[in-house]
Amino acid sequence: MSRNKTEEAWIRELMNTWVKAVRAKDIEGVMSCYVPDILLFDLAPPLEYRGVDAYRKNWEEWFSSFKGAVGYDIRDLRITTGDDAAFCHSLNRISGARTYGEQTEVWVRATVGFRKFDGKWMIAHEHLSVPFEMKEPYKALLDLEP
Amino acid sequence: MSTNKANDEARIRELMDNWAKKFRAKDIDGIMSIYAPDIVSFDAIAQLQFKGVDAYKKHWEACLSFCQGPITFETRDMNITVGDGVAFSHYLNRCGGTDQSGEEKASWMRATVCFRKINGEWKVVHEHYSAPFDMETGKALFDLKP
């Protein structure tokens, strides 16, 4: 939407800041992108997380499960903006060596909702997932590629 | 919240309530009526994404064919953020069908639905449904409760 190009550019910059912080395991950098009352749906249980404190703990555990840097790439990012609400969706590739001895290579779906908070765009909602196979034993599909 | 935004929120809530009724009635045209032609959907099963209403309709038909008996679809905690012509919502939903012995098979899932106002009408341009999965067994989790 060209009439909101500037807003879209701000959101794109926010997502760049976020992904750089994720790759660097920079917990403060990641958390600085979120509104205090964020509600998110993550890959692993529970069904939902409410609030930055619960989510911070989750990020800390996730970062510590990687031996080195986290590989994180965003593709097919599509952003839709209004005056003070916006959303985007993308396919994200997560990769890296885990401390429990496995190598993670997975594509996940990401939907992010934004609110403008004191004139600044912030992430108010995240939904990350992989689809599952519609037959027993209902395995998560971790080897799909775009 | 401005009156306009309150009105828009009420219209979106009504749209989603009506849609739930159409889903429960297995009314494929009713289900499809809320989607924009260029919808990108991240559904809970099978594929990373479905692009465009034609591909998504085929997927919906396949989904409905899995459900021989009555459909369970109830929503809770629906939160809607409205901007100028743009909105997103998230909620939990208990979704499922009835197996051959007549037993209900339903589980709690997560939903994010994103809207744009197109020619004065709110349309779904993106939606994301998912279940979390167990990181150890790799299986989707159907026994989680809000």
The CB-based long-range contact list for A21-26 (8 Å cut-off, 24+ gap) reads A22/A70, A22/A72, A23/A69, A23/A70, A23/A71, A23/A72, A24/A69, A25/A63, A25/A66, A25/A69, A25/A70
Q: Which uninterrupted H or E stretch holds B87?
A: strand B86-98
pLDDT for the residue numbered A5: 59
- Measured between beta carbons, which residues in chain B are less than 8 angstroms from residue A83? 83-84
Q: What average pLDDT does the segment A23-37 reach?
A: 97
Positions of chain B with pLDDT under 70? 1
Would you state the structure tokens that stand for residue B27, as one six-digit string?
Answer: 């009314």
- What are the C-alpha distances in Å from B72 to residues A52, B43, B64, B130? 32, 17, 12, 16
pLDDT for the residue numbered A4: 52
A134:B47 CB<8 A? no
User: Is B78 part of the contact surface with chain A (CB cutoff 8 Å)?
Assistant: no
User: Is B49 part of the contact surface with chain A (CB cutoff 8 Å)?
Assistant: yes
pLDDT for the residue numbered A3: 53
User: Is A43 part of the contact surface with chain B (CB cutoff 8 Å)?
Assistant: yes
Minimal Cβ distance to B81: which of A42, A113, A138: A113
B48:A87 CB<8 A? no
Q: What average pLDDT does the segment A50-68 reach?
A: 95
- Rounded to a whole number of angstroms, the distance from the CA of A51 to the nearest CA of chain B is 15
Would you state the structure tokens that stand for residue B141, as one six-digit string?
Answer: 């989790």
Nearest residue in A to B38, CA atom: A78
- What are the C-alpha distances in Å from B112 to residues A45, A125, B91? 17, 9, 7
How far is C-alpha A28 from the chain's CA centre? 15
pLDDT for the residue numbered B97: 86
Would you state the structure tokens that stand for residue A73, as one six-digit string?
Answer: 């790439």
Nearest residue in B to A42, CA atom: B132
Q: What average pLDDT does the segment A8-15 reach?
A: 96
* Helical ranges in B1-146 per DSSP H: 3-24, 28-32, 53-66
pLDDT in tens, A90-118: 999 999 999 999 999 999 999 999 999 88
- Rounded to a whole number of angstroms, the distance from the CA of A97 to the nearest CA of chain B is 15
- Rounded to a whole number of angstroms, the distance from the CA of A35 to the nearest CA of chain B is 13
pLDDT in tens, A60-83: 999 999 999 999 999 999 999 999
pLDDT for the residue numbered B1: 63
pLDDT for the residue numbered A54: 93
Contact A102, A86 (CB under 8 A): no
Nearest residue in A to B141, CA atom: A45
This complex has an ipTM of 0.95
pLDDT for the residue numbered A110: 98
Confidence of residue A1 (pLDDT cuts 50, 70, 90): very low
